[in-house]
A and B are shown apart, each in its own frame.
Chain A
Amino acid sequence: MSAPVIRVQGLVKRYRNADEPAVNGMDLEVMPGEFLGLLGPNGAGKTTIISIITGVRQATSGTVSIQGIPITRDAHEVHRIIGYVPQDIALYEALTARENLTFFGELLGLSGQRLRQRADELLERTGLLARAGERVKDWSGGMKRRLNLIVALLHEPAILFLDEPTVGIDVQSRAAIWELLHEINATGTTVVYTSHHLEEAERLCSRVVIIDNGRAVGEVSDPQAHKGHLEETFLRMTGRGLRD
């Protein structure tokens, strides 16, 4: 059996002036090629967990390693392996789509013809090629979301992290994103994504970890096999109480 590509042990994150820790002893292992969904209600700690795993934030305690490399020891190397799609539209709106892709691509170690080809390929794949010369600020939310996704795919990462990648977009854009995610997962890319859309998780994920109060409270393997029951499981594990 192959080793996990992501290993999280005893992760704790305590924000200053917060009564409770945002992440409270989280353990997680992700196997190569998995499509893992981190599901949880608002404020469960999903974004904080993914931020720590990708190196955006530092943990109060606990360890995170990606392909056996501790993030705290060699973040630079880990960042070559991973791709990260933030919850926000993390793009420079004054720049064109191509300028955004060129800038982020160069940071990811691509250049010249290779970068242009890869950018064109992804723009074509997401239906954005014809408008690649336009400034992002003039685009619709769905187009921005698609570009937000493909920036993280430029260097063909081995592991892709997505933080609610389909928030606030139209059905067509969401379907295109799902399709693309399916495709890249099929080529062997490990995908970890957070959401509170259960239907989306059922459709995409090979495994779902349910998070509440900063730690894993349950797990559903092969959610597609339990279609329609994920919501019931989710509510059983996280309760029906309203969240802030």
Chain B
Amino acid sequence: MLRRIIAHIRKELLLLVRDRAGLALLYVMPIVLVSIMAVVQDAPFRDFADKQVKVLFRDLDGGVVGEKVRAGMDIAGSFTITDAGTLSEEEIKEEVRKGHHQVAVIVPAGASKVLLDRSAHAMDGLFGQITGDSVAPIQPDSAFVRMIVDPTVKHAFRELSRGALIRILAGLSSEQLLVDMHARMEAITGDTLEPLKLMAPFIGVDQRLAAGETSGVLIASDSTQHNVPAWTIFAMFFTVVMLAGNMVKERNSGCMARLLTMPGGVAERILGRAVAYLFICVTQLGVLLAMGHWVLPVWGLPRIGARPCEGPCTFAAGGGVH
């Protein structure tokens, strides 16, 4: 029985090897697909993986607000900041529209004055209730830091930029309120008091990775990690085309009728085919992982698996190990 199964396996492999169109379908097409798709998707994956938003920064204020917003965005680590120099708002918009920058941040002139005025007004209101002094009824002007966004930028990136700006401006306002409060309290008490400092939030955020943290490695997705496993599975479906084609040929040629009059049952024929096509699938996997490991990096794409033995592990996990 084993000899007959081996005979079926050998026959199937010989038929596949002799079928050039079939070989192209099984091996060349997936290689081409992986190459094209990995190259095409590389840029978007890099954007997403790096999480760096390109920001064009214009400070019309020249005071503490411009300085602190710039410093706060630098510290956030999610932004690559370029100074807009003396560009006008229209020129800045054009730069963003052309895709040179994803976001532009313009700190308006007088923003620092608005910050100081509003803080002082708030303190007047608060301490006026204690000292009995009257408070100016007119509210000081408002100021808005302008954010200009490339319409093609993902919503997540917009919100990342907007959230960072809100956080910086809120911190700046709180800090100014504390400074003013400290000055007023010294004035009331006539003593020199310890400066009030902006504290860390009482309740913080503890972020953890769902996977990879315990092993000390970072799991990340890139175009190679995404495309090689995906197209490998897709390529395996093409074996069905070959299998069905050979079965139809076998039936039409009369070979099936001949096989039915020979020793060995349907189970042997199916097993022989299954083993042959399993071998094809394994070699497809090997070829495409080799592409991901050795060939795609030559074109500047990420490598699949840090070492060759990690390829299959990466495939099984559906993610990349760097």
Contact = CB atoms under 8 A, between A and B. Distances in A.
Do A and B originate from a single complex? yes
Contacts of B6: 106
Given A91-B255, A92-B255, A103-B11, A82 B263 contact: no
Interface in A212-226: none
A178 interface: no
Nearest to B264: A107
A56 B261 CA distance: 6
Interface string B247-282: 000001111011111111100000000000000000
Contacts of A102: 7
Contacts of A108: 262-263
Indicate the member of A90, A95, A109 with the most B CB atoms within 10 Å: A90
Interface stretch (B13-21, B24-32, B57-65, B286-294): B13-21
B263 A76 contact: yes
A94 B253 contact: no
Interface string A81-108: 0111011111111110001001110111
B11 A90 contact: no
B3 interface: yes
Nearest to B258: A90
B257 A86 contact: yes
B146 interface: no
B10 interface: yes
Q: Size class of A's contact patch?
A: 20 to 34
A59 interface: no
Interface in A112-159: 135, 151-152
Indicate the member of B14, B253, B255 with the most A CB atoms within 10 Å: B255
A152 to B, nearest CB: 8
A78 to B, nearest CB: 9
B68 interface: no
A83 B262 CA distance: 8
A87 B254 contact: yes
Contacts of B261: 54-56, 79, 82-84, 161
Indicate the member of B19, B258, B263 with the most A CB atoms within 10 Å: B258
Contact of B15 (A80, A94, A152): A94
A215 B11 CA distance: 39
A107 B7 contact: yes
Given A86-B257, A107-B7, 18 more contacts: A79-B262, A83-B261, A84-B257, A84-B261, A88-B254, A90-B258, A91-B253, A92-B15, A93-B253, A94-B14, A95-B18, A102-B7, A103-B7, A107-B259, A108-B263, A109-B263, A152-B258, A161-B261
Interface of A: 51, 54-56, 76, 79-80, 82-84, 86-95, 99, 102-104, 106-109, 111, 135, 151-152, 161
